[in-house]
Amino acid sequence: MSEIRLIVNGVEHVLDVPESRTLAEVLRYDLKLTGTKIGCNEAECGICTVHVDGTPVNSCIYPVFRAEGRRITTIEGLANGSLHPLQREFIAHSAVQCGFCTPGLIMTAAALLEENPDPDEHDIKVALKDTYCRCTGYTSVINAIRSAASVKRGEEPLPPNEPEVSEPLKHISVSEPVQDIEDRVTGRAKYTDDYVFDGMLFGRTLRARYPHARILRIDTSRAKALPGVRAVLTADDVPGENVHGLVYLDWDVLCKDKVRYMGDAVAIVAADTQEIADQAVELIEVDYEPLPVVADPVYARTPDAPLVHEGREAGNLLKHIKVRHGDIDKGFAEADVIIERTYHTPTTEHAFLEPECAIGVPAGYDSEHDKLTVYVGSQIPYQDRNQIARAMGVPDEAVRVKGVLIGGGFGGKEDIAGQIHVAMLANATGKPVKMLYSRSESLLFHPKRHATVIRIKTGAKRDGTLTAVEAELYGDGGAYASLSDKVMTRATTHATGPYHVPNAKIDCYAMYTNNPPSGAFRGFGVTQSAFAVEQNMDLVAEALGIDPVEFRLKNAQRVGVATATGQVLRESVGLIESIEKVNADMRAGDFKWSWRDGGYAYGWGIACAYKNTGLGGGAPDRSDAEVEAFEDGTVEVRTSSADMGQGLIAVLAQIAAEELGLPYKKVRVLLSDTDKTPNGGPTTASRQTFMSGNAVRYAAGSLRALLSKVAAEELDTPPDRLRFEEGLIRENGHSIGFDQVVRLAKGQGLATKILHEYYGPKTQPLGTGGDMHFAFSYATQAALVSVELSTGVVRVHRIISATDIGRAINPLLVQGQIEGGIVMAMGNCLSESYIVEEGVPWTRYLARYKMPSIKHTPEIKSYLVEHRSSDGPYGAKGVGEIPSINTSPAICNAIYNAVGVRVYSIPVDQDALYRAMQRGDREVFTAWHDVK
Amino acid sequence: MKLWEKYHLARTADEALALLSNYSGEAQIVAGGTDLLIDLQQPEKAHQRPKALIDVTCAADMNTIQLEDGIFTVGAAVTHAAVVKSALLERYATCLVESCGVVGGPQVRNVGTLGGNVAHALPAGDGTTSLVALDAQALVGWGDGRREWLPITALFKGAGVSALDSHRDLLIAFRFNACKAGEGCAFKRIMRPQGVALPILGCAVWIALESDNETIRDARICLAPVSQTPTRAADTEAALRGQPANAETIERAVAVAHKTLHPRTSKYRATGEYRREMIGTLLRGALPRAFERAATGQAKAEGVGA
C-alpha cells in the first residue's frame, strides 16, 4: 500500500492503495464512484473513459500511480448543479438503452466538445470510434451529441428524430422517457458489480483445461490452505441436484466426472479479496484424461463421433425438428426454376458490455435478507430462482432473486452464469459473495448464437409463384442444450421466409458438440435461416428474370394464407406495406440496382423477415403483473419481467397511465424481484410488450373498474359515465382526485392492488397445425453498400427499413430497437465471428471479436408499419428481434448486385471477396476463419 | 489480479535506467501500457509478471518533439496523439502523422507512445513502419550504462522480439531527417474488419525528387508485414530511383514488389495472396501522394482517426 493524491471531480483525495491498482479500480472500489464502468480491461471497448487533466483515457488500463496529483473527471463530476447538455440530450434523443456504456460515450463526447464546439458527423465518428455501444446502433448517439453541441454553443437543441405513428393516444404511441433514465446518464444507475455488502467475499471459478476430458482427480487442499480463502467447493459440495438447464436439465453446476467444453466449471472459490480468489483457483489441481473432441455439428451426427453426453439414446442429436407441409414432390414438379445452395453462418457472441456478475447473500445476513438472496442482472428471474433452489436442495420460496439493472442481454443473460455458484459460496461461508466474470471468462463461458450449415432448395413457376421449399439445417448446439431446441425450432419453422409456400419439407438437426453452448441470441435462429432464404429468393428472381421486389410482393404472406406450419394468418400481416414503403424510398429519384463510381462498386439489396411474438408452439405463455394505487395518487406496477435497455419500464408505465388516466410520472415500475414482483415470464421471444403489457393493461383495467365504483358513488353517477383524465375522475363538470378515490376505497376496506394473470392466446405444437404463434412481426430492409474494387472492403451506406410492429407504444424506443438491431446485424454480416478451434476458443479477448463501432453506422431510415394485432395491448406485437433478421441477407444481396459475387458464408470476407472478383468467380464460400 | 507490485514514475531517462538497474531485471519499463498491461493479464504470462513497473510517460527528456538543423528528435514517450497534433511533423514527416493517426481510437492514442510501438517489435507496427521509411535512428540506453544511436531496423530481432530487454534497457528517442524541398512521404494501410485488431498490410514511402521535380532521386519504402521484422523493400526502391515520378513507374515498381516480396498467410488476418495484391493497392495509393508532396512542398495528413 502506498499513498497517492488525486483530484477527482474537483475534490482532493489522499488514498493508501496498492500500487498495482488501475485508475478504474480506484475510482470504482476505493472511491465508490461506480459510474465508471469496466467492460473489457483491455482498452478495447472504451466505456471506462474518464478525463485525466482533460484528456480522455481508458481508465481500465491506466495505472493509478501515473495519475499522481492529476485532475480526474468522471461521469459523476460532469453535471455541474444541473445536467450537462450531453446528459440532457442523450435522454431527449433516446440515446440511452441499457446505460452501461453511456458514461463512457458521454465522457468521450464531452472531451470532443471541449475541443470542437461544432463537430460534424465525421468528427463524432473519429472521436467515438473506440467507445462501444451494443444497444443503440449509434444513430441516436450522433444526434444527441450534435444537439448537445448546439446547446453548448447557446443555440437550440435539435429535435429528436421521431418516427411517424398513427392514432396516438394520451400516453400510447408517445415517446415517454424511461423513469430512471437520469440515473443512467449521471452514473448513479447501479448494476450488479456496483453493489457492495459489508464483509463481502469475492468468488472465482476454475474452468476446464480441455474441451472434452474425463476428470480423474481434483485436489483443492493447496487452495484451501491459502490464507484468505474462505471456501473451495466442487461437485461433491452441491447441496441439491448438480444440474441446471432452461429446457433440458443437462448442465452440471460443477463438473464431477467429465468436462464438455472449455467454459465448464470445475471448482469455485470464495476469498477475502479478488486477488486471493484468483490465486487460489490457480492452486487447485485437476488431473484429466483428454477425450476426442466433437468440433462441428455435421461430424457430430456421424456414427464415429464420440458422445458429448454418454447414455443418451439419440447420441449427439439434441433434437431433430421437422416441418412437413403440402406435397414436396408435387411442389418441385410444378417448378420451372429450382435453386439449391448451401449457406454457412458462424458462432457469434452477444458482447453485452456488462460482463456477468452475481452476488449471493446468505439467509439471515440482515433484516433485508431473511432468505438466501441472489442479486443478478437476469432476463429470467423466476427460472433463475428455480434453478438455484434445485441445486441448493431447497424449495423455490426459500430463495429470492433480486434483479438489478442489466448492462445488455440480447438473449445472452437467460442461462445460469454465476447465480448458483454465489448461492453455494454464500451458504458455505455465511457471507455475501460476489462473482464478477472477466471479459475473457464471459467470452469463454456463456451460450452463443448457433453456427449453422443450411442447405436450401427453392422452386418457383415461371410467373414467379413459389411452389416449394426444401431445407436441411445443422445447428451447433455446443456442449449443453440451453435453448437449442427452441432456437433451432424457430430457425426451422421460419425457413420458408415470410412467404406463401404451399409445399415445404424442412429438417433441422440441433447437435451436441464440445464447443461453447449455443442459446438465445436476438433473432433466435431466424437470423440464420433468413440469411439462406433471402439470398435464395434473389437467386430465384434472377433466374426467372423478375425484379426481386416484385417477386417478394407476389409471394408475400398476407391475411388468409397459411404458413408452412399450417397456421392460417387472420390479421396483422403488414409485410406488403413494409415492402412497398421500403421500395418507394429506395426507388425515389434516379434508382439503379448497381453502378460504379471512382473505384467503388455500389449496389442495393433487399430482404424481408418475419418473427413470432411470444413463446408459441403450445407452450403456455403467461405473464403476471400487479398494479397498486396509493393514497398519494401514485401507482406502482410490478412484474418480474426484465428491462435490459429495451425500455420495458416505460412501456408498462405508459400502459398503466393510459388505463388509469394518470400523469405518466405518477406511475412507478418495479421489476425483477421474485419476492416483490409476480412472474412476468422470460424476457425473450420479443414477448414482453405483448405479454407483460397485456397483464398490466388488464390489471390496471380492473383497478379502474374498482375505483370507478367508489368514485361513482361519491359523484352520484353511473360508473360507465366516468372519465379518468390527468389524475382526476370526471363526470360532466364534477370531478374527484384519483388520490381521493384511492383513500375512499381504502377507507371502505377495499384493496387497491390488483394482480392479473395474463395468458397469451393458445398456441399449437409444431406438427399439429393451427396457430403455432399468436402474432408475427414483419420487416423489409434495403441496404446500399459499396465494395472498394482495389481492396474488397465492404461499406454499408444506407439502410431503409419498414417494420410492422402492430403499434409503437413508445416510438423512440421502438426506433432504438430497430436502429440497434440493424447495426448489431451488420456485425453479424460483416465482422463478427466467434472462432473455436477443435473446441478451444480463439476469441478469448474482445480485441479478437470485432463488432460494429460508431464509424460503421450507416444512414438509417426506419418506417413503422402498424397493422394492429387484436390481442396485443393497443394492437402492439414484438419488436426486439425482427430488426436483426434481414440485414445480413440484404447486405449480401447488395454485394451481389454491386460486384456479381454471391456470398455464401458470413462474416463477409473482404480477402476472399477481392480474390473472387479478381478471378471472376461468382461465388464465395470461404469465411475468413476457413483461411488456413 | 495483481499484475505488478511497485510502480515508479521516472522523471528522466537516467532515473528510469537507474531504477531498472536497482531491480536487476525484476522491473520492466511501461509507457502507455496499452499493449503491456493487456499482455500481463494473460494467464500464460503469469510467471513473467514483473515486480515493478517503471513508468516513463512523465520523463521530461523523453517527451519532446524537436526540429533542429533539419533533424527531428522525437522522445520515445511522445504519445501518438502528440505526434498527430504536431504541425511540424505533419509538414515535414507526414507519413509518421498518418501512421500514428490510425492507431487505435483517441483514448489509446492519448496514452500509447511511439516508443512503445517500436519496443513491441511487431512486424507491422504503424508508427514503426513510417520510422523505417524515414530511415530513423533510435537512441538506446543500455543496462550497462552505454548510450548509443542505432539504425531503427537494428532493434528488431524477430516477430515481437526486440534487441532491447525492457527489464534492463530503455528506448529514449528517435531522430530522422525532416523532409526537405523535393522530398515527401506518405503512409497507408489496410485493416481487416474481422478478427484481431492488427493491420493486414501497412505501407510507408519516402520520396526525393531531382531538382526537375519530375525524376525520382531516391526512395525508401517499408511494407509490413512482409517478413518477421519491419524491413525496407530494397528492390522496389531501386525500381523507382532515376525514373520519372508517374503512373508507369509505379506500375513497374509494383511488378518488382510482387516479384520480390512474399508476404505470408497469417491465420485470421489475411492470405498471402491477398496481401500480395494489397502491396499493389497500397503503393498505388501512397506513392502518388508522396510524389505530390515532394513536388509541391505541401503536405496535409490524410486519414487521421479513420
Q: Which amino acid is at A918?
A: Q
Q: Are A514 and A293 in contact (CB under 8 A)?
A: yes
State the Cα–Cα distance between residues A551 and A563, nearest whole angstrom: 18
Give the A:B interface size as CB pairs under 8 Å.
145
- Dihedral over alpha carbons A894, A824, A130, A178 (to 10 degrees): 130
Residues in CB range of A587: below 8 A, 6 or more apart: none
Q: What angle do CA A428, A433, A434 make, to 5 degrees?
A: 150
pLDDT of res. B195: 62
Q: Does A930 touch chain B (CB under 8 A)?
A: no
Residues in CB range of A115: below 8 A, 6 or more apart: none
Phi, psi (deg, nearest 5) at residue B270 = -170, 155
pLDDT of res. B48: 85
- Min Cα–Cα distance to chain B from A848, Å: 4
Residue of chain A with shortest Cα separation from B55: A66
Which class for A932: exposed (0-12), middle (13-18), buried (19 or more C-beta within 10 A)? exposed
Q: Does B163 touch chain A (CB under 8 A)?
A: no
Q: Does B251 touch chain A (CB under 8 A)?
A: no
Q: What angle do CA B275, B277, B279 make, to 5 degrees?
A: 70
- Min Cα–Cα distance to chain A from B175, Å: 27
Of residues A22, A58, A928, nearest to B268 (C-beta): A928
Nearest to A92 by CA among A147, A165, A170: A147
Question: b/e for A70-86, b at 16 or more Cβ within 10 A?
Answer: bbbbbbbbbbeeebbbb
Q: Does B9 touch chain A (CB under 8 A)?
A: yes
Q: What angle do CA B50, B53, B54 make, to 5 degrees?
A: 140
Which class for A272: exposed (0-12), middle (13-18), buried (19 or more C-beta within 10 A)? middle
Nearest to A857 by CA among A827, A877, A899, A886: A827
What sign does the CA torsion over B155, B156, B162, B163 have?
negative
State the Cα–Cα distance between residues A910 and A478, nearest whole angstrom: 28
Residue with cell 418507394: A584
For residue A45 the three cell numbers come to 471497448
Q: Which domains does chain B have, with CATH numbers?
A: 6-55 (3.30.43), 64-177 (3.30.465.10), 183-296 (3.30.390.50)
Q: Are A807 and A871 in contact (CB under 8 A)?
A: no
For residue A685 the three cell numbers come to 421471444
Residue B148, Cβ neighbours under 10 Å: how many?
11
Distance of alpha carbon A704 from its chain centroid, rounded? 34
pLDDT of res. A932: 35
Q: Does B61 touch chain A (CB under 8 A)?
A: no
Q: Does A915 touch chain B (CB under 8 A)?
A: yes
State the Cα–Cα distance between residues A188 and A176, nearest whole angstrom: 21
What is the SS3 assignment for A432? coil
State the Cα–Cα distance between residues B187 and B179, nearest whole angstrom: 14
Q: What length does chain A have?
A: 932
Cβ neighbours of A22 in B, within 8 Å: 37
For residue B44 the three cell numbers come to 500464460
pLDDT of res. B269: 85
For residue A231 the three cell numbers come to 471456501
Q: Are A680 and A734 in contact (CB under 8 A)?
A: no
What sign does the CA torsion over A51, A53, A57, A62 have?
negative
Cβ neighbours of A43 in B, within 8 Å: 34, 37-38, 104, 107-108
State the Cα–Cα distance between residues A566 and A617, nearest whole angstrom: 12
Nearest to A166 by CA among A689, A809, A781: A809
Q: What is the 3-state secondary structure (H, E, C) of A62-120?
A: CEHHHHCCCEEECHHHCCECECCHHHHHHHHCCCCCCCCCHHHHHHHHHHHHHHCCCCC
For residue A725 the three cell numbers come to 383524465
Prediction ipTM score: 0.97
Give kind and range of the element (H or E) at residue B219. strand B216-224
Distance of alpha carbon A446 from its chain centroid, rounded? 13
Of residues B9, B192, B278, nearest to A66 (C-beta): B9
pLDDT of res. B7: 98
- Min Cα–Cα distance to chain B from A364, Å: 31
Cross-strand pairs, B137: B151, B175
Which class for A363: exposed (0-12), middle (13-18), buried (19 or more C-beta within 10 A)? middle
Q: What length does chain B have?
A: 306
Q: In order along chain A (932 residues), what is the average pLDDT of each group of 10 residues?
A: 96 97 97 98 96 98 97 96 96 98 98 98 97 98 98 98 97 96 98 98 98 98 98 98 98 98 98 96 98 96 96 96 98 98 96 98 97 98 98 98 97 98 98 98 98 98 98 98 98 98 98 98 98 98 98 98 96 98 97 98 98 96 98 98 96 98 98 98 96 98 97 94 95 94 98 98 95 98 98 97 98 98 97 95 94 96 98 98 98 98 95 95 73 38
What sign does the CA torsion over B137, B160, B100, B28 have?
negative
State the Cα–Cα distance between residues B184 and A448, nearest whole angstrom: 50
Residue with cell 434508382: A591
- Dihedral over alpha carbons A798, A802, A807, A809 (to 10 degrees): 0
Q: In order along chain B (306 residues), what is the average pLDDT of each group of 10 residues?
A: 92 98 97 93 86 98 98 98 98 98 95 96 93 98 97 96 96 98 97 75 98 97 94 97 98 98 90 95 98 96 91
Residue A42, Cβ neighbours under 10 Å: how many?
20
Q: Does A25 touch chain B (CB under 8 A)?
A: no
Q: Does A205 touch chain B (CB under 8 A)?
A: no
- Residues 265-304 on A with a CB inside 8 Å of B are 274-275, 278, 282
Q: What are the C-alpha distances in Å from A931 to residues A528, A923, B272?
A: 22, 16, 10
Q: Does B284 touch chain A (CB under 8 A)?
A: yes
Of residues B4, B274, B304, nearest to A911 (C-beta): B274
Residue of chain B with shortest Cα separation from A790: B281
pLDDT of res. A931: 41
Q: What are the C-alpha distances in Å from A353 to residues A104, A618, A783, B222?
A: 11, 34, 27, 38
Of residues B5, B55, B193, nearest to A850 (C-beta): B193
Q: Does A918 touch chain B (CB under 8 A)?
A: yes
Q: Which amino acid is at A919?
A: R
**Side-by-side strand order, sheet with A728-731:** A723-725, A728-731, A734-737
Residue A290, Cβ neighbours under 10 Å: how many?
12
